[in-house]
Chain A
Amino acid sequence: RKEVEQDPGPFNVPEGATVAFNCTYSNSASQSFFWYRQDCRKEPKLLMSVYSSGNEDGRFTAQLNRASQYISLLIRDSKLSDSATYLCVVNMESGGSYIPTFGRGTSLIVHP
């Protein structure tokens, strides 16, 4: 079982729609969580950190549920340019260091 699990999708939504992705993680001691965006054949780029109280950045909202060990990403008013793969990242403890561990990603396709 992978330590960070995501639904690979694809999520196919029309412009303007609201879409949400979930990600579950196995290590309850994990402290730091992130969402990255990866465009086709490009490197992953940090989209936003996920804080315990939840946080918002424009059309994007990230939330953390420690009890159920999952994080979520909500995208409102989807744009064509939001089409990408969204990677869930959990910093897992390893020998006193915290190492970014990636989910396999969720593909989002926004169509006109």
Chain B
Amino acid sequence: NAGVTQTPKFRVLKTGQSMTLLCAQDMNHEYMYWYRQDPGMGLRLIHYSVGEGTTAKGEVPDGYNVSRLKKQNFLLGLESAAPSQTSVYFCASSYRSDRVGAFFGQGTRLTVV
């Protein structure tokens, strides 16, 4: 049981390049989330999904797009990377009930130069 798996673990991009971060979960969770974590800022929600085929904006969605074509996968895309998007990105998933906590992937460290 792998839980929540993120790929890649590390990436360096040049300004203007694009990339996709993949999140996969094998726990049959309905909800999935993408957060970014920056020093002193805590975890901030980028986008989230409450089910296959649905996505919604979080606190800091600008510059990112997401897709949830399959229940187990949640993709985060950066169309034109900017240095301000240098961060650690965490994916998480949870059951539909709000009474349970979320499980996190190991994170992706992205540097945009």
Interface residues of A (CB under 8 A from B): 2, 8, 31-32, 34, 36, 42-46, 49, 87, 89, 91, 94-95, 97-105
Contacts and interface: CB of A to CB of B under 8 A. Distances in A.
A44 B90 CA distance: 9
Given A32-B98, A105-B42, A100 B104 contact: no
Given A43-B106, A97-B31, A104 B42 contact: yes
Contact of A104 (B40, B94, B98): B40
Interface residues of B, number: 26
19 contacts: A2-B42, A36-B101, A42-B106, A43-B107, A46-B102, A49-B99, A49-B101, A89-B101, A91-B98, A94-B56, A97-B48, A97-B56, A99-B45, A99-B58, A100-B33, A100-B45, A100-B92, A102-B42, A104-B40
A91 B100 CA distance: 9
A33 B58 CA distance: 19
Q: Is the interface of B mostly helix, strand, loop or mixed?
A: strand
Contacts of A102: 35, 42-44
Give 3 nearest A-B pairs by CB, closest first: A98-B98, A104-B42, A43-B104
Contacts of B40: 8, 104
Interface of B: 31, 33, 35, 40-45, 48, 50, 56, 58, 90, 92, 94, 98-107
A101 B56 CA distance: 15
A102 B101 CA distance: 12
